[in-house]
Structure 1
Amino acid sequence: MQWRGRRGSRNVEDRRGMGAAGAGGLGITGMIVVLAVGYFFGIDISPIVREMDQGQSQPQQNAPLSEEDQQWGEFVSVVLADTEEVWRPVLADQAGVEYRDPTLVLFRGAVQSACGGASSAMGPFYCPGDQRVYLDTDFFDMMERRMGAGGDFAYAYVIAHEVGHHIQNLTGVLEQSMQARMNAGEREANQISVLTELQADCYAGIWARHAQDRFGTLEEGDLAEAMGAAEAVGDDVIQSSAGRTPVPDSFTHGSAAERQEWLMRGFNSGDMGQCDTFAEAGL
């Protein structure tokens, strides 16, 4: 992926030097909020996290950012800038909606958001309450080491997916899907969640297509990296990795095949009209 030397976004809030924001002491209600954040807005990788870092439950002392931390910050900033450059005209032209830049918050271990407290074990997530994407870059290391889905474009796909939820928030789809989930039974609520996540994957594909057209972002193998990441975060793959038998009715983000399909649908078309997962499902 061609990203070095490119413009970075000013909309990155780096909290990593602050240590972990305390996630402990949340109680039962707080833990439900944490789970909701992961299930509704992010990539829930908690089934393959065997043990939580006990140190995360206490605030940690400020620590200077390593050279690797700084490199991650630069990478995230450039990818976020690319999403801004792409979505500002695309959203206006294709949906008649003015784009508002989200803020991307980098954190370490645990974080507080307008959606409540969250641990990095929940994976990256988007909070519509404050229009922020939350990301612990250790997730990228986990993608490579434990999920077999490394590569800079794989990581960019993750960021673009969360920005896809921001697009849904701006168009009103996210609020509608959350309301529908609240009024549905468990099986139907899970289906609505899957459709929401697959649309965000499709929007990530749209970003990739337009980023390539405008900036020549892609290098050989980049699409394969993104497809590998989409496979690795499929509900069936995550459940299998945790030693479970995949149960489709319990899926909240979609199978590996579905996530790959919708990612490529967005990439091949570059058209938001091709990303209406709800209409295709008859909803």
Structure 2
Amino acid sequence: MTPPTHANRHTGRVSRSFGVALAVAAVALVASACTTAVPGMPLAAGGVINHDQGGDVDPSFINNTDGGEIDKLAATVIKDVEKYWRETFPTTFGGQAWQDLKGGYYSVDTSNQGAPAPPCVNQAADIEGNAFYCPTADSMAWDRVALLPVLKDHFGEAAVMLVLAHEMGHAVQRRAGITPSAERQNPQKYPTILLESQADCYAGTFVKWVTDGKADRLLVDREALDPALEAMVAFRDPVGTAKNAQGAHGDAFDRVSAFQDGFDKGSKFCSTMSVDNRQFTARAFGSDQDEATGGNSTMDEVLKDIPGDIGTFLKTKVGARYTPPKFTQVDSAPTCGKGDQGPAAFCVDAREIDVAPRGELAKLHQKIGDWATGTIVASRYGLSVLAAMNKPLTGPDAQKAALCVAGAYSGELLNRKSDQPTFTLSPGDLDEGVKVLLQNDYAARDADGNAPQTGFERVSEYRNGVVGGLKACALGG
């Protein structure tokens, strides 16, 4: 979060890769065998291969395969991705038939200096911790030592599926006419961040097809998607990377948004993405001081700035019926109401918001960042809006509204001019909102402490508010 300005603190490549943010950490993990080197969750999502439908695919069609479990998983994913695009490409692109990759697939042992290099790179080590699609060779390659097993162990097999589906998304682009030559001739039309977001979108369409039970070999439920999205967050660009930077893939909000758009809206929507209809939230830091702090304010600063600011925002948007609730800091987790709302709560009877700045909220603030705190607190104001409008404070609609209002307020802060005498969001703040929503359900809890089951659902509702504003929150008249 960037404090008010009066506080003086802020305001065509050869290949297409999934991203490089995790590469160094992944290599460190393999070298040290230290399970804490890569952020994420221990494997909890289970497998994605539907063993009732024949199990693993023979990976012998993969160049340089070792025939091991990782390449069997990759081979299984590839066969279903190919089937998906054989079915989907003609209906998406005017009847054109899908063409399988002419250059094939490459599994790379990056731990072996003498291992064969795949097309587009000079040596195997060049793709350490990564996967990529090579448009000039029409081939795909992945690191089977320092990437796929790390993804599998820390984020589940669905993360492997997501990465390979993303790379196939780049093959879709090439077949749709976005060739290296087209990129060179029209760099403003095809910036890297757009192409990477479109590939994330195509990956989302494939994963939806799998979750719908249409795949031959893969089977994934919604719960498995949360750790897979954690992997996507890990592969975001470094905080402070501008959207027009060379090689930019987007921040976590951009990447998760593109994936969820594909999941919800389908391949035709993805195919129409352009610089004219796509907004990106990735941006550079506005000052050296903001960059030095990573864009993070202290807990005291956040809890000082938010109440009056969000109260004014909601009063302006909702109208006379809304009176901002009293804001109180308490020593321990609030206990008002029938259920546990977590470290911040809207106390219905007292019409006040109680926040415990120590304990769990302090841990999240330290671990994730200041907008983890901001997102949770803003969601309680969402419940206060429902109360002012005499709407139910419990149930799925209330849970969605709390998240959407938090997103709408976050979007308001994101779009403020840096020279206004109010605080704004810093680069990475929306990512912090995504992270806290994936990792726990505090911001989604209704007045009885109930919340949507998956982080995927929570992020989706939050995104609705960020993108569509308060009018997208279905608050009624």
Taking structure 2 as the reference length, what is the TM-score of the superposition?
A: 0.41
Alignment partner of 1:125: what SS?
strand
- 2:137 aligns with 130
- 2:191 aligns with 192
Contact 2:156-2:227 within 8 A present in 1 as well: yes
Alignment partner of 1:117: what SS?
coil
Q: 1:22-62: CA deviations, max 9, x gaps?
A: xxxxxxxxxxxxx944xx40034278528989xxxxxxxxx
Work out whether 1:154 is the aligned partner of 2:159: yes
Structure holding more helix per residue: 1
Aligned with 2:232 (options 230, 233, 236): 230
* 1:48–1:167 Cα change, 3 Å: closer
* 1:75–1:64 Cα change, 3 Å: closer
* 1:157–1:46 Cα change, 3 Å: closer
- 1:72 aligns with 70
- 1:5 aligns with none
Contact 2:128-2:143 within 8 A present in 1 as well: no
- 1:166 aligns with 171
User: How far 1:233 sits from its partner (Å)?
Assistant: 1.0
Comparing 89-98 and 154-163, the one that deviates more: 89-98
Comparing 124-133 and 109-118, the one that deviates more: 109-118
Contact 1:177-1:193 within 8 A present in 2 as well: no
How many residues matched? 218
Amino acid at match of 1:92: P
Alignment partner of 1:226: what SS?
helix
* 1:36–1:112 Cα change, 3 Å: farther
Contact 2:21-2:235 within 8 A present in 1 as well: no
- 2:201 aligns with 202
Q: After superposition, where does 1:260-275 map in structure 2 within 5 Å?
A: 260-275=256-271
Contact 1:42-1:122 within 8 A present in 2 as well: no
- 1:178 aligns with 183
User: How far 1:144 sits from its partner (Å)?
Assistant: 6.4
Contact 1:266-1:275 within 8 A present in 2 as well: no
Q: After superposition, where does 1:7-22 map in structure 2 within 5 Å?
A: none
Contact 1:231-1:256 within 8 A present in 2 as well: yes
Contact 2:204-2:261 within 8 A present in 1 as well: yes
- 1:140 aligns with 148
C-alpha distance in 1 between matches for 2:258 and 2:227? 15
Amino acid at match of 1:78: T
Contact 2:108-2:118 within 8 A present in 1 as well: no
Contact 2:70-2:149 within 8 A present in 1 as well: no
- 2:329 aligns with none
C-alpha distance in 2 between matches for 1:220 and 1:122? 27
Contact 2:205-2:267 within 8 A present in 1 as well: yes
User: How far 1:234 sits from its partner (Å)?
Assistant: 1.0
Identity among equivalent pairs (%): 22
Amino acid at match of 2:220: L
C-alpha distance in 1 between matches for 2:185 and 2:278? 14
C-alpha distance in 2 between matches for 1:48 and 1:72? 17
Amino acid at match of 1:227: L
Q: After superposition, where does 1:4-43 map in structure 2 within 5 Å?
A: 36-37=13-14, 40-43=15-18
Q: 1:84-103: CA deviations, max 9, x gaps?
A: 11110100112122111122
Contact 2:18-2:166 within 8 A present in 1 as well: no
* 1:113–1:105 Cα change, 3 Å: closer
User: How far 1:178 sits from its partner (Å)?
Assistant: 2.2
Contact 1:197-1:253 within 8 A present in 2 as well: yes
Q: 1:134-182: CA deviations, max 9, x gaps?
A: 011221244468xxx521001110000000001011111243652246x
Q: 1:242-279: CA deviations, max 9, x gaps?
A: xxx54444361111101000101111122323443314
C-alpha distance in 1 between matches for 2:87 and 2:69? 29
Amino acid at match of 1:166: A
User: How far 1:225 sits from its partner (Å)?
Assistant: 2.4
C-alpha distance in 2 between matches for 1:113 and 1:129? 12
C-alpha distance in 2 between matches for 1:277 and 1:72? 33
Point out where structure 2 has 5 or more consecutive residues left out of the alignment: 1-11, 29-63, 280-477
User: How far 1:221 sits from its partner (Å)?
Assistant: 1.7
* 1:176–1:163 Cα change, 3 Å: same
Amino acid at match of 1:99: W
Point out where structure 1 has 5 or more consecutive residues left out of the alignment: 1-34, 54-62
Aligned with 1:221 (options 223, 239, 255): 223
* 1:48–1:246 Cα change, 3 Å: farther
* 1:100–1:205 Cα change, 3 Å: same
C-alpha distance in 1 between matches for 2:88 and 2:191? 25
C-alpha distance in 1 between matches for 2:191 and 2:229? 23
Question: Which structure ranks higher in relative contact order (CA pairs < 8 Å, sequence separation ≥ 6)?
Answer: 1
Alignment partner of 1:112: what SS?
coil
* 1:89–1:112 Cα change, 3 Å: same
